[in-house]
Amino acid sequence: MYVLDSSAFINEYHTDAEIATIPLVREELTDESAYRFDALEGSGMHLHIPDSETVERVERAARETGDLETLSRTDIRLVAATFELDGTLVTDDYAMQNVADKLEVAVEVIAQEGIDEQREWRFQCQGCGREFDENHDRCPICGSNLSRKNPAS
């Protein structure tokens, strides 16, 4: 089963396999892509709402990779639905791909290249330069803002 992100509707992704998505995706679509969503729903696309426990598991994984702040509520639930359905997530979103990889969820990209490797981001204080594994609202040492940093750089 393929679980479709909004980019799949926007880019007119097509497959003969079974498809699913979550109701929140419909809210992200406008015009033609919204009509495609409605047409696919009318022709048997499965709408899935993931369990709260699975959503929490995805949030933990996103926190571990450092992607939680960049993922929307819809993104987190899409990864959770794909996990529960043992499906393949169809998306171009790099943060979603990274978290899916962490959870061993299959991903198919649409219009862009997929990720080459999973990343666990680090966070660096813009004031004192200290690095942290987890994101904070502000640096616990000096109070400055933190920025996300690729651990390989």
Report the CATH number that the domain containing residue 57 is assigned in CATH: 3.40.50.1010
The answer to which of 11-15, 18-22, 124-128 has the lowest mean pLDDT is 124-128
Q: Is residue 74 part of a domain?
A: yes
User: How buried is residue 67: exposed, middle or buried, by Cβ count under 10 Å (0-12/13-18/19+)?
Assistant: buried
Q: Is residue 19 part of a domain?
A: yes
Q: Is residue 115 part of a domain?
A: no
Q: Is the pLDDT of residue 129 over 90?
A: no
Is residue 96 within 8 Å of 90, Cβ to Cβ? no
Same domain, 36 and 89: yes
Same domain, 57 and 93: yes
Same domain, 26 and 60: yes
Residue that wins the pLDDT comparison between 46 and 11: 46
Q: Is residue 114 part of a domain?
A: no
Same domain, 82 and 23: yes
Residue that wins the pLDDT comparison between 3 and 122: 3
Quote the mean pLDDT of the chain. Answer: 87
Q: Which domain holds residue 148?
A: 121-153
pTM of the predicted protein model: 0.74
Same domain, 125 and 62: no
pLDDT digits (tens, 9 = 90+) for 42-97: 999 999 999 999 999 999 999 988 899 899 999 999 999 999 999 999 998 989 99
Average pLDDT over residues 32-48: 92
Same domain, 9 and 78: yes
**Count of the separate structural domains present in the chain:** 2
* 3-state helix vs strand vs coil in the chain, percent to 5: 40, 15, 45
Same domain, 24 and 72: yes
- Kindly indicate the confidence band of residue 39, based on its pLDDT and cuts at 50, 70 and 90: very high
Same domain, 87 and 126: no
As beta bridge partners, residue 107 has 89
